[in-house]
């Protein structure tokens, strides 16, 4: 299976006109400038393909814009302020104040629009035959076979009366307002519930950073910071019902997120030693109501087209269903509130012969407000209240210069990530009893609740990582430098089901400026990855195996069959090569041309298949300033990406 994607990511021209200007002069105590002009954009098809992050305006049309700045330099006080307004969702403002080098503060406020993808999910319908391929009816169902699937004819859900099932009658026609449910084999299909929705996020950010140096303590500088970010808008939410058909649905999800950061710290300089400490307190809140949905009724394919549930009974997949349509609307895709605290300590010692030693320590704790589903399940972390993740890291770097032309850097880092193993308490109240299939035993590693039960879900995040590296910078000639580097990383995952990952990275680059008007850069890197993050037993049951042959026809089919899977799957490369070539020509201070080409090749040789991806991205930028008050930029970017895998399974046997 091959997929091709190409984007024309932008052809943009902007002219800035200055009809009124008072040019800033450092010799004047008060100066400023005013800039006015117009911005225009016209996009056909999908705006996010050329302007995912809007920088001119957020929709087609023309609008005026303005920019102004003011500078005050007097009596040891320096103030600089800038205001730029394009439209309500494209603006930024900043101000800087310096009072006699004792107190310095920076302020900024910005607003931007981010256009998001809308997945129509039409590709999922590749596994669905047309309704005409099924010749049976509700009154006279035919045996289910791969070539005889009821497709979309079964409609059991009436939103007006959700606990009373209904279907479309003998002809199988969908009734108005009913949600379609499909049963039988090859039953994976997608449904875009908001096909005309446009998803985007408006992001606004307010930041402030301040430094205080008390004259009586000249070696110490105190730092204070504040950041407030709001993200509001609407994005797509993907959900799925199982244990009937794999019914994938997409609908809208409101976003109203707020992130608040408070930082404080101090930097001290004591001769050759520099110490720095910083503290972060972060609070994240999601104020929007999470989306909710009805889950499809849980049906067993072997129970016939009209299950006994709709005549007073209930058929499940071996007692492993905690909730379905009868539980009403259930929330999903919920972003929990969280709190984070971090401490960072850095130290640097400057030695003789251009040698320096640096060390750092980071300690961070994140508490998540994630909760369970009342009446179905609940869970607690190790502290009994919230889910907690802790991070500790130690780093060191040695840099030394040998002669005039060679600099060598040696570095190392040790990271320890711990995330709670979650104890999940399942409530079995209301779990129906299987009518046709006995419960699955614990011998095949499947959980079957027979009473209120507690199981442990081990964290896949907990790990230890060690990274070491060395790089050398050598001056080949005047204005030409060569950089060579090597990194090694060992990622030790604590989950016994996941393998450790070893990564070797080799890097090389050369920067040159052969003349006053020409500069160039070439860089290449190669990664060899042993055991990238993947599922080692994700696919391919060997049905010639005696055990697997038995379960394909026995009562535990659908669970035991998956325990026999042998092949791995991943879309992460086990080797990757990345190359960049760029050059700039600047014949004058008012004109420059930059060309760039990047290529990235990724591959993964799996057990019985392979995955590879090739990405190419050329770009061209032309900048021209015919006057000090007018400048123009022309930019062209192109991206082509081809992915190929020898493993494709378009059918899901429900």
User: 530 is written with which tokens?
Assistant: 């042993």
User: 337 is written with which tokens?
Assistant: 């509130």
Question: Per-residue pLDDT tens for 361-382?
Answer: 999 999 988 877 776 677 766 6
Q: Does the pLDDT value for residue 420 go beyond 80? A: yes
Tell me the CA distances in angstroms from 582 to 250, 531, 599, 617, one per residue in order: 41, 33, 12, 12
Calculate mean pLDDT across residues 112-120: 89
Calculate mean pLDDT across residues 138-151: 48
User: 193 is written with which tokens?
Assistant: 């519930």
Contact present, 143 and 134 (Cβ < 8 Å): no
pLDDT value of position 125: 62
H-run or E-run covering 469: strand 463-477
CA–CA dist 428, 449 (Å, integer):
7
Per the prediction, the chain carries an average pLDDT of 78
Closest of 490, 516, 518 to residue 505, by C-alpha: 490
pLDDT value of position 410: 98
- Cβ neighbors of 550 (< 8 A, separation 6 or more) are none
Residue scoring higher pLDDT (645 or 275): 275
Calculate mean pLDDT across residues 388-417: 95
Calculate mean pLDDT across residues 125-147: 51
Closest of 412, 411, 389 to residue 400, by C-alpha: 411
Range of lowest pLDDT (23-32, 405-414, 489-498): 23-32
Calculate mean pLDDT across residues 118-145: 59
Calculate mean pLDDT across residues 39-57: 73
Residue scoring higher pLDDT (262 or 306): 262
Contact present, 175 and 159 (Cβ < 8 Å): no
Query: By three-state DSSP, how is residue 159 classified?
Result: coil
Query: By three-state DSSP, how is residue 301 classified?
Result: helix
User: 380 is written with which tokens?
Assistant: 């607690």
Closest of 577, 587, 506, 501 to residue 536, by C-alpha: 501
Q: Does the pLDDT value for residue 549 go beyond 60? A: no
pLDDT band for position 27 (cuts 50, 70, 90): low
Strand pairing category for 2-12 and 630-645? antiparallel
pLDDT value of position 512: 96
Calculate mean pLDDT across residues 268-294: 94
pLDDT value of position 3: 37
Question: Per-residue pLDDT tens for 186-242?
Answer: 466 677 888 889 899 999 999 999 999 999 999 999 999 999 999 999 999 998 887
pLDDT value of position 491: 96
Q: Give the number of other Cβ atoms within 10 Å of residue 522's Cβ.
A: 14
- Cβ neighbors of 467 (< 8 A, separation 6 or more) are 412, 413, 414, 415, 487, 488, 489, 490
Closest of 163, 167, 164 to residue 155, by C-alpha: 167
pLDDT value of position 83: 95
Residue scoring higher pLDDT (384 or 112): 112
Q: Does the pLDDT value for residue 277 go beyond 70? A: yes
CA quadruple 263, 269, 270, 274: dihedral sign: positive
Contact present, 645 and 638 (Cβ < 8 Å): no
- Top mean pLDDT of 24-38, 217-231, 539-553 is at 217-231
- Phi first, then psi, for residue 31 (nearest 5°) are -155, 165
Question: Per-residue pLDDT tens for 430-456?
Answer: 444 443 334 433 333 344 444 456 777
User: 187 is written with which tokens?
Assistant: 């039953």
Q: Does the pLDDT value for residue 596 go beyond 80? A: yes
Calculate mean pLDDT across residues 279-291: 95
User: 156 is written with which tokens?
Assistant: 């059991």
Share of the chain above pLDDT 90, in %: 43
Tell me the CA distances in angstroms from 457 to 82, 198, 287, 379, 425, one per residue in order: 52, 37, 28, 10, 11
- Phi first, then psi, for residue 162 (nearest 5°) are -65, -20
pLDDT band for position 97 (cuts 50, 70, 90): very high
Residue with tokens 């907690």: 388
CA–CA dist 321, 330 (Å, integer):
14
CA–CA dist 135, 153 (Å, integer):
11
Residue scoring higher pLDDT (357 or 189): 357
Query: By three-state DSSP, how is residue 303 classified?
Result: helix
Strand pairing category for 535-541 and 246-270? unpaired
């Amino acid at each position: 299976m091959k997929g091709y994607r190409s984007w024309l990511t932008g052809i943009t021209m902007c002219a800035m006109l200055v009809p009124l200007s008072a040019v800033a002069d450092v010799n004047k105590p008060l100066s400023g400038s005013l800039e006015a002009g117009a911005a225009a954009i016209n996009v056909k098809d999908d705006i996010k393909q050329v302007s995912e992050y809007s920088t001119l305006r957020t929709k087609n049309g023309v609008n005026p814009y303005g920019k102004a700045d003011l500078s005050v330099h007097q009596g040891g006080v320096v103030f600089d302020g800038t205001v730029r307004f394009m439209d309500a969702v494209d603006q930024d403002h900043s101000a800087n104040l310096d009072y006699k080098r004792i107190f310095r503060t920076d302020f900024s406020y910005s607003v931007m629009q981010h256009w998001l993808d809308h997945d129509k999910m039409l590709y999922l319908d590749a596994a669905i035959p047309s309704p005409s391929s099924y010749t049976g009816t509700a009154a006279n169902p035919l045996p289910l076979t791969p070539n005889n699937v009821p497709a979309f004819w079964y409609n059991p859900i009436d939103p007006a009366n959700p606990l009373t099932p209904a279907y479309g009658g003998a002809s199988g026609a969908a009734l108005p307002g009913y949600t379609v449910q499909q049963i039988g084999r090859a039953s994976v299909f997608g449904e875009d519930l908001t096909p005309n929705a446009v998803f985007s996020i408006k992001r606004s950010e307010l930041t402030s950073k301040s430094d205080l140096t008390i004259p009586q303590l000249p070696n110490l500088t105190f730092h204070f910071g504040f950041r407030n970010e709001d993200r509001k808008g609407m994005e797509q939410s993907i959900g799925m019902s199982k244990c009937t058909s794999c019914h994938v649905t997409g609908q809208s999800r409101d976003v109203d997120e707020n992130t608040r950061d408070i930082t404080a710290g101090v930097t001290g300089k004591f001769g050759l030693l520099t110490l720095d400490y910083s503290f972060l307190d972060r609070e994240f809140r999601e104020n929007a109501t999470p989306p909710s949905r009805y889950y499809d009724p849980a049906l067993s394919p072997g129970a016939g087209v009209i299950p006994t549930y709709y005549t007073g009974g209930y058929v499940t997949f071996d007692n492993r269903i905690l909730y379905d349509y009868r539980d009403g609307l259930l929330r999903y895709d919920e972003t929990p509130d969280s709190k984070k605290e971090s401490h960072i300590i850095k130290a640097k010692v400057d030695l003789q012969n251009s040698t320096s030693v640096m060390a750092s320590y980071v300690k961070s704790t994140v508490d998540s407000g994630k909760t369970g589903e009342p009446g179905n399940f609940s869970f607690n972390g190790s502290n009994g209240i919230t889910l907690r993740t802790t991070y500790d890291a130690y780093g060191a770097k040695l840099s030394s210069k040998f002669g005039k032309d060679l600099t060598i850097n040696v570095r190392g880092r040790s990271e320890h990530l711990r995330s709670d193993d979650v104890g999940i308490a399942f409530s079995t109240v209301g779990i129906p009893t299987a009518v046709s299939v006995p419960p699955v035993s614990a011998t095949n590693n499947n959980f079957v609740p027979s009473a209120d039960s507690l199981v442990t879900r081990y964290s896949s995040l907990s790990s230890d990582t060690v990274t070491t590296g060395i790089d050398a910078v050598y001056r080949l000639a005047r204005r030409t430098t060569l950089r060579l580097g090597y990194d090694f990383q060992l990622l030790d995952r604590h989950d016994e089901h996941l393998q450790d990952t070893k990564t070797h990275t080799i890097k090389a680059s050369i920067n040159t400026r052969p003349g006053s008007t020409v500069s160039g850069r070439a860089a290449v890197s190669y990664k060899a990855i042993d055991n990238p993050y993947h599922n080692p037993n994700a696919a391919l049951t060997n049905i010639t195996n005696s055990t697997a042959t038995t379960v394909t026809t026995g009562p535990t089919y659908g669970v035991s069959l998956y325990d026999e899977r042998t092949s791995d799957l991943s879309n992460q490369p086990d080797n990757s090569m990345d190359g960049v070539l760029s050059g700039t020509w600047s014949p004058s201070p008012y004109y420059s041309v930059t060309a760039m080409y990047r290529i990235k090749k990724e591959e993964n040789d799996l057990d019985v298949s392979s995955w590879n991806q090739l990405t190419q991205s050329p770009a061209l930028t032309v900048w021209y300033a015919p006057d000090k008050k007018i400048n123009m930029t022309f930019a062209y970017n192109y991206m082509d990406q081809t992915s190929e895998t020898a493993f494709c399974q378009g059918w899901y046997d429900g």
